[in-house]
């Protein structure tokens, strides 16, 4: 929860008979980011409660409070005296805004994008494994009605050895389309433009970030004038590059840029993936629960993925493309901290016309077992009935408790007529021994 002002709320369980039982009254400090709150509480054994009520103790204190991602777990206790021994919940919180590499001199204008069919930008050596955003500095040169067509901000692979000629490759690792009219939403208070662009990269390898104006009618009255440093010697780990008609040319100078990356939560050196909650439920038992959060960075939680894999935040689904002679798969590695002997998978096919999916699990990445699925019927909110949708709802028990499990997702019995495959509403849960 977060609040625009210091405030205080009372939290109660209630039911339709208006019977209420207070869980806790808590102070909610002013905060720009969500603060995690955990409460252990007994219910009244003779009553059934159906709702949780959050209420400000002073309705007129002017604080705007938001509460999100509420979870309730049933605890394995007999008396609330046992609450004293509970371990605090471990949550995977990721900071997506860690400053990485930057070059902040912006004294020179670069006019390359006023010519048609240009890809122009910066080669750089990646300084971390993930990129989440890039900030650029530019002037928008436009005539009144030219706002509609799309530029593309692209992160591409390059062939480059220091000192040699660069080659910007055709493989686009991540891209973001935007029109001149969209730019206002990326504009920062200091006038720079910060674009969200997620990519998993290899540290110490060179990449290209730049803008493709191929869809724009570019000329001296309609272009993006990028800014940077005329002295290319100051930033050593990269150069400016232009690609046109399939050929790459290097040019003197470096852009103004700031890259941002990710920092995962760790617990005793183990990375906790973003959508994870590890909870104590009492008497030596705990639960591990993971589900993608749909915040645009869900690929960061994957252990591996082929370049065609994307996450659709609206459909809450991973999607891959089926192409002849090209692998399409992704995998998770879950480290549960505490051992588990039983786990549960829940998932379903995002679209019944897509190719079905195999989910395999392994504890050593050598022996893989397929997780069974069924074909279910689903009734949509508009009462349309869908038959034969692939669904996973499986519990698997292991004799020897494990701390690490790998899950691999790939298209099942490929039908070459189908272009897409994927998985939606995915949840992984394990019963932990604390």
The site for Ca ion (CB under 5 A) is made up of: 232, 235, 239, 254
Beta carbon of residue 124, minimum distance to Ca ion (angstroms, whole number): 9
CA 394 to each of CA 57, 232, 285: distance values in angstroms, whole numbers, following the listed order: 44, 57, 20
* Residue 123 or 405 with smaller CB distance to Ca ion: 123
Find the Cα–Cα–Cα–Cα dihedral 319, 321, 322, 323, rounded to 10°: -170
CA angle 192, 196, 197 (to 5 degrees): 120
Find the Cα–Cα–Cα–Cα dihedral 247, 252, 256, 262, rounded to 10°: 60
Beta carbon of residue 257, minimum distance to Ca ion (angstroms, whole number): 11
* Residue 238 or 424 with smaller CB distance to Ca ion: 238
Output phi, psi for 393, to 5 deg: -155, 75
Q: How many CB atoms lie within 10 A of CB 302?
A: 19
* Residue 254 or 298 with smaller CB distance to Ca ion: 254
* Residue 166 or 320 with smaller CB distance to Ca ion: 166
Beta carbon of residue 238, minimum distance to Ca ion (angstroms, whole number): 5
* Residue 157 or 254 with smaller CB distance to Ca ion: 254
Nearest residue to Ca ion by CB is: 232
Please say whether the beta carbons of 428 and 343 come within 8 A. Answer: yes
* Residue 210 or 411 with smaller CB distance to Ca ion: 210
CA 47 to each of CA 16, 81, 281, 327, 411: distance values in angstroms, whole numbers, following the listed order: 11, 21, 22, 55, 48
Beta carbon of residue 166, minimum distance to Ca ion (angstroms, whole number): 11
* Residue 65 or 105 with smaller CB distance to Ca ion: 105
Beta carbon of residue 121, minimum distance to Ca ion (angstroms, whole number): 13
Beta carbon of residue 251, minimum distance to Ca ion (angstroms, whole number): 10
Beta carbon of residue 227, minimum distance to Ca ion (angstroms, whole number): 15
* Residue 407 CB partners (closer than 8 Å, separation 6+): 331, 332, 334, 345, 359, 360, 361, 428
CA angle 337, 343, 347 (to 5 degrees): 115
* Residue 58 or 159 with smaller CB distance to Ca ion: 159
Tabulate helix, strand, coil % of the chain (nearest 5).
Answer: 5, 55, 40
Beta carbon of residue 211, minimum distance to Ca ion (angstroms, whole number): 18
Find the Cα–Cα–Cα–Cα dihedral 364, 365, 369, 373, rounded to 10°: 120
């Amino acid at each position: 929860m977060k609040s625009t002002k210091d405030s205080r709320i009372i939290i109660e369980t209630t039911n339709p008979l208006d019977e209420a039982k207070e869980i806790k009254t808590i102070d909610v400090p002013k905060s720009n980011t969500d603060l995690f709150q955990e409460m252990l509480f007994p219910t009244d054994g003779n009553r059934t409660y159906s709702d949780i009520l959050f209420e400000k103790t002073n309705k007129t204190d002017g604080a705007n409070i938001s509460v999100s991602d509420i979870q309730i777990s049933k605890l394995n206790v007999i008396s609330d005296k046992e609450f004293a021994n509970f371990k605090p919940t471990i949550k995977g919180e990721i900071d997506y805004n860690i400053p990485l590499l930057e070059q902040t001199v912006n004294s020179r204008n670069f006019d390359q994008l006023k010519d048609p069919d240009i890809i122009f930008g910066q080669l750089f050596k990646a300084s971390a494994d993930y990129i989440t955003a890039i900030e650029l500095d530019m002037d928008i040169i436009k005539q009144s009605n030219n706002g509609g067509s799309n530029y593309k901000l692209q992160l591409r692979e390059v062939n480059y050895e220091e000192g040699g000629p660069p080659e910007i490759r055709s493989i686009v690792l991540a891209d973001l389309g935007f029109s001149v009219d969209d730019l206002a939403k990326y504009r920062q208070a200091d006038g720079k433009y910060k674009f969200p662009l997620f990519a998993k990269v290899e540290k110490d390898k060179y990449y290209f970030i730049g803008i493709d104006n191929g869809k724009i009618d570019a000329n001296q009255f309609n272009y993006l004038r990028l800014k940077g440093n005329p002295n290319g010697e100051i930033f050593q780990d990269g150069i400016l590059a232009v690609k046109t008609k399939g050929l790459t040319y290097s040019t003197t100078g470096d852009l103004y840029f700031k890259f941002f990356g990710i920092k995962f939560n760790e617990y005793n050196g183990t990375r906790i993936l973003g959508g994870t909650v590890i909870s104590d439920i009492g008497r030596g038992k705990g639960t591990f629960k993971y589900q993608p959060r749909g915040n645009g960075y869900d690929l960061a939680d994957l252990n591996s993925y082929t370049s065609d894999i994307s996450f659709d935040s609206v459909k809450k689904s991973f999607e891959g493309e089926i192409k002849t002679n090209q692998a399409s798969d992704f995998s998770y590695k879950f480290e549960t901290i505490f051992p588990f002997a039983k786990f549960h998978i829940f998932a379903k096919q995002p679209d019944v016309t897509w190719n079905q999916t195999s989910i395999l699990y392994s504890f050593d990445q050598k022996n893989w077992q397929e997780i069974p699925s069924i074909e279910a019927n689903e009734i949509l909110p508009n009462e349309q009935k869908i038959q034969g949708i692939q669904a996973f709802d499986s519990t698997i028990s292991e004799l020897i408790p494990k701390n690490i499990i790998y899950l691999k997702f790939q298209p099942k019995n490929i039908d070459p007529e189908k272009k897409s495959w994927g998985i939606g509403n995915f949840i992984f849960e394990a019963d932990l021994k604390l």
